[in-house]
Each structure stands twice: as structure tokens, then as C-alpha cells.
């Protein structure tokens, strides 16, 4: 076969292969990831308790208290594909419930609900590059205790209730509700650490639209790194008390600045 015919056949074959491939210009392309600032809100429900050693009070215990993270500011900054820096500003309640049990059940039950201005900071990572994806997160928080409220009941007692043969029949309870009063420099008793620093970690599920709207539902565990109370003259074990909570939260953010990578 003549060389010119061979070259012609090769040329025609190459053209047919090229024509059979879709044009790059019309190929569907994956939307570029939007980076920049995203702003929105979040809210949640919190189960909080206080970590403390009750070894010297075997009939006393702290119980979990349900409370709220009120709707507050949620800010995200996209650091890269599937990686977010997260910031928040909200009002959070952390409860402390003390109760007696066994033969002293109901003798002294009271709850102190603390209200904090809360500032969580962290990093969140989407595990998959898709609209629906689980994510994990870790970070720290700073909070300031702004107010508190006591509620509960105590029994009116006669004689010594710790007597083994003490009869609790016929006693009546006294309910109470009062604002918490912070100590001052002249007080002798309990001293509050109103500023709190802690750490949190958790994860959840997110849905993100093509426009950048992000909706999430997560579960975080938090632990105070600083004590609720400072060292006191009267009750030394107060300095060991720290908040520990489980927060189920939800929220959404939308982009306010879009830069295309």
C-alpha cells in the first residue's frame, strides 16, 4: 500500500476519534467551591451536669439538668474544600441540680440555673465531598456567667434527721425561688469564677446547596477547663466543680462573600 494512502487512513482515523469525544467546552463541570464568610444562626438543647467528688457525702448527688442554647449568631469561614473555621455568639444556660436520695430522698433538692454569654470557636471538617455529608468538629469556648436563679424545695425538719430511727412522716416541704447573688470582695464565703474556658468536640450531618446555604444538625460534648468556683475559706471542694454538657444543636448559614477557588 502506498505511503500516502496509509497516512490518509491514519489522519481520517484520528479525526473520527476526536469527533467521537465530547467537547471540553460543553462538558459538565463541578461547581467551584465557594470560600469566604458565611453567616447565620444556631440554637439547641443542652443536658448539663457538674463534675464533683461526693465521696464524703454518699447520700448526695448531682443530676443532669436540661436547658437551652438560645438562638444566636453562627459564623463560618471556608478555609478550603470541606474545612470550615466556626465561630459563635449565643446565650447558654447550664444547670446544676443537687439532690439527696435513699432515706433522705427529697429532703434537699435544689437547682441553680446559670446563664452565660458563650463564645465557641472551632474547626469543622466534612467527611465527604457531597451535598449530604457527616462532619466532625473540635474547638474551645469562652463563656461569662451573667446571672443565675435558684429553685427547689427543702423539708421542714425537727431534731436530727441523720438519726438512724428518724421518722420522716408528717414533714412538709418548703419551695423556694430566688435570684442568685454573686459574692463581692467583702464576702467570706463562696467565690465565683464568672469567666469560664472549656473545650468541645462532636459531629453531625450537614446539607449544603449549590448556592452555599449550609444546614446542619450536630451533637457536641463540652467540658469546662476552669472551675466554677475559686478557692474558698469554708468549702474547699468547691474549687473542683466543673461544667460538663451534651449539646444537640441545629442551624444554618449562607454566604455573604463568595470567592471562587
List the chain domain ranges. Answer: 32-260
DSSP one-letter code for 102: G
Can you point out the beta strands (E) in the chain? 34-51, 60-63, 65-80, 83-100, 108-126, 132-155, 173-179, 195-208, 214-224, 242-255, 259-260
Closest-CA residue to 58 (of 102, 107, 108): 102
| Per-residue confidence (pLDDT) for residue 245, from 0 to 100 | 94
Of 95-109, 128-142, 174-188, the poorest mean pLDDT is in: 95-109
User: Is residue 97 within 8 Å of residue 66, measured between CB atoms?
Assistant: no
Q: Is the pLDDT of residue 155 over 70?
A: no
Q: Helices in the chain by DSSP H: which ranges?
A: 3-20
- According to DSSP, the residues that pair with 192 across neighbouring strands are 229
| Per-residue confidence (pLDDT) for residue 7, from 0 to 100 | 42
| Per-residue confidence (pLDDT) for residue 125, from 0 to 100 | 96
Residues shown for the chain: 261
| Per-residue confidence (pLDDT) for residue 156, from 0 to 100 | 60
CATH architecture of 32-260: Beta Barrel (2.40)
Cα-to-chain-centroid distance, residue 89: 12
Cα-to-chain-centroid distance, residue 17: 57
| Per-residue confidence (pLDDT) for residue 255, from 0 to 100 | 92
Q: Is the pLDDT of residue 59 over 70?
A: no
User: Is residue 248 within 8 Å of residue 219, measured between CB atoms?
Assistant: yes
Confidence of residue 96 (pLDDT cuts 50, 70, 90): confident
pLDDT, one tens digit per residue, over 16-41 is: 444 445 544 444 433 444 458 999 99
Cα-to-chain-centroid distance, residue 200: 7
Write down the pTM of the prediction. 0.75
- Which stretch, 102-106, 107-111, 214-218, has highest mean pLDDT? 214-218
Amino acid at each position: 500500500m502506498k505511503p500516502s494512502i496509509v497516512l490518509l487512513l491514519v489522519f481520517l482515523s484520528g479525526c473520527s476519534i476526536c469527533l467521537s469525544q465530547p467537547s471540553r467546552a460543553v462538558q459538565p463541570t463541578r461547581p467551584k467551591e465557594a470560600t469566604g464568610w458565611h453567616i447565620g444562626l444556631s440554637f439547641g438543647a443542652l443536658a448539663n451536669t457538674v463534675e464533683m467528688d461526693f465521696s464524703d457525702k454518699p447520700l448526695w448527688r448531682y443530676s443532669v439538668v436540661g436547658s437551652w442554647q438560645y438562638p444566636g449568631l453562627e459564623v463560618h469561614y471556608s478555609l478550603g474544600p470541606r474545612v470550615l473555621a466556626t465561630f459563635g455568639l449565643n446565650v447558654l444556660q447550664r444547670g446544676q441540680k443537687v439532690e439527696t436520695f435513699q432515706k433522705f430522698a427529697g429532703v434537699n433538692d435544689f437547682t441553680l440555673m446559670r446563664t452565660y454569654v458563650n463564645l465557641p470557636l472551632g474547626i469543622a471538617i466534612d467527611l465527604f465531598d457531597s451535598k449530604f455529608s457527616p462532619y466532625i468538629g473540635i474547638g474551645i469556648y469562652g463563656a461569662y456567667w451573667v446571672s443565675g436563679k435558684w429553685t427547689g424545695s427543702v423539708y421542714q425538719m425537727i431534731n436530727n434527721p441523720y438519726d438512724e430511727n428518724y421518722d420522716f412522716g408528717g414533714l412538709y416541704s418548703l419551695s423556694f425561688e430566688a435570684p442568685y447573688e454573686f459574692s463581692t470582695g467583702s464576702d467570706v464565703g463562696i467565690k465565683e469564677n464568672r469567666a469560664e474556658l472549656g473545650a468541645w468536640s462532636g459531629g453531625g450531618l450537614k446539607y449544603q446547596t449549590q448556592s452555599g446555604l449550609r444546614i446542619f444538625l450536630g451533637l457536641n460534648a463540652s467540658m469546662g477547663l476552669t472551675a466554677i468556683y475559686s478557692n474558698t475559706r469554708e468549702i474547699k471542694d468547691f474549687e473542683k466543680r466543673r461544667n460538663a454538657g451534651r449539646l444537640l444543636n441545629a442551624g444554618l448559614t449562607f454566604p455573604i462573600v463568595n470567592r471562587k477557588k
